[in-house]
A = this chain, B = another copy of it.
Amino acid sequence: MDAAVPIARTETVGLIDADGRVAAADVIAAVDVPPFDRAAMDGYAVIADDTAGATRQSPASLSFAGRLYTGEVASRPIGRGECLEIATGAPMPDGANAVVMVEETTRDGDVVRIREAVRPGQNVGRRAADIAAGAIVSRAGHVLTPSRIGALAAAGVAGVEVFARPSVAILSTGDEIVEPGEPLGPGQIYDVNRYTIETVVRRHGGVAAARPISADSLDELIASLDEATAHDLVVVSGGSSVGDRDLIRDALAARGEIHFHGIAVKPGKPTALATVGGTPVFAMPGYPTSCLSNAYMLLVPFLRAVARLPPWQPRTVEAPLGRRINSAPGRLQFYTVRIVNGIAEPAFKASGDITSMADADGYIEIPAEADAVDAGTVVTVKLF
């Protein structure tokens, strides 16, 4: 996590596109919200003193001074003994300081009978009661939500400065990798990791930039890596083990600093993190489930920190385990399960099988010190 540098670039987006983005600066209200005292009820704007003692039995009589709709402004102040019919949200006329609900009134020509005394301010929404000019409407670092966007709109703000989404280069490697939709040649398989990583990146605040598939040659890998490090973060998949042609490690060592290579996690042990030209580079295993499970466990927290988003809190369910799972001692295990009739049924097949995850509802984490989890143990399932 020390290598995760929170992004500094900012951009201005329209309000509609600001949902889920991280505000980069405090926004100060330039206007009061509401911008005027307004009627909080349909009724009559009055001078409160004119209603003193009014009751159902002994109503006050006031003189009808006209009608005011929302969007209109009274042409003259209200004087003693007068009242103005007013709609909810319309600006209070000068002179008036309270509203009598329409239900407590009757009108007969130019005479309005008021059956209830009101106190000053009653049924009036005060100018600036929601947001005062000069107040902070939206704070730097907060994630924008529908209601926070609503507050910005209320203050008349049309655009907001937010942190840029980290740009994440996604680089699949391997001579055998082909794009879905293309015909498969002998010995070839389809690229899976580009698609799983790209969708995870988009879900967690990043902009994904898929790079062309790189062949297994050191020169080509280094060239691909150099181009990819123009982005804020790089995720390479494939070629991260220690086979004869697993060249990613060599490319990373040639161009930057490797922080770790090999982690006590199952699946996904041959995962590396490096920094190349100041850019963090995750090297993920090529096996789809290893790659995607490490994306959930390592990339998501890292990317969210770079994007300045709060840690991910997946929905979880507690469920008893359907059958015993053996676990590799000394390695944290990411184990997928399906929830069937309230039971967490093991769904893991093999780390090369994407259906280990596609047919699962979520996963449990088995600590490194455990060598098994017994059937019936209540486990916490993190839902996908």
Contacts of A70 in B (CB 8 A): 174-176, 187, 216, 245
Say yes or no: A35 contacts B192, CB within 8 Å: no
State which residues 132-153 of A face B: CB under 8 Å.
137, 145-153
Copies in the complex: 2
Are the CB atoms of A241 and B88 closer together than 8 Å? Answer: yes
Contact pick for A244, options B42, B130, B174, CB 8 Å? B42
**Is A377 an interface residue, CB under 8 A from the partner?**
no
Decide if A109 is an interface residue (CB 8 Å cutoff): no
Chain B hits for A130, CB < 8 A: 349-350, 352-355
Q: Chain B contacts of A219 at CB under 8 A?
A: none
A357 contacts the other chain (CB 8 A): yes
CB distance from A37 to the nearest CB of B (A): 11
DSSP majority for the A interface? loop
Q: Which of B15, B315, B384 interacts with A315 by CB under 8 Å?
A: B315
Instruction: Name the contact of A42 in the complex, choosing from B15, B191, B241, B358 (C-beta under 8 A).
Output: B241
Most B C-beta atoms less than 10 A away, residue of A15, A85, A89, A152: A89
Are A184 and B31 also in contact (CB < 8 A) when A154-B192, A195-B16, A196-B146 are? yes
CA of A145 to CA of B336, assembled, Å: 14
Q: Kindly state the separation between the CA atoms of A156 and B195 in the bound complex, as whole angstroms.
A: 12
Write the chain B residue with the least CB distance to A351.
B40
- For residue A158, CB closer than 8 A to chain B, the reply is yes
B203 touches A180 (CB 8 A): no
Contact of A90 among B187, B315, B353 (CB under 8 A): B187
A202-B241 in contact (CB<8A): no
Distance in Å: Cβ of A67 to nearest Cβ of chain B: 7
Smallest beta-carbon distance A359→chain B, Å: 8
Q: Is the CB of A243 within 8 A of B176?
A: no
C-alpha gap A203/B18 in the complex (Å): 12
26 intermolecular pairs with C-beta atoms under 8 Å apart? A15-B195, A19-B199, A33-B189, A34-B189, A35-B184, A36-B186, A40-B352, A70-B175, A70-B176, A71-B175, A125-B350, A129-B349, A129-B353, A131-B355, A137-B358, A146-B199, A146-B200, A146-B292, A147-B354, A150-B192, A150-B288, A150-B354, A153-B354, A155-B190, A157-B180, A158-B179
Task: Apart from A33-B354, A36-B186, A73-B186, list 15 A-B contacts with CB within 8 A.
Answer: A34-B352, A36-B187, A71-B216, A87-B245, A89-B176, A90-B176, A90-B187, A145-B384, A146-B295, A150-B358, A153-B180, A155-B180, A158-B179, A158-B180, A313-B315
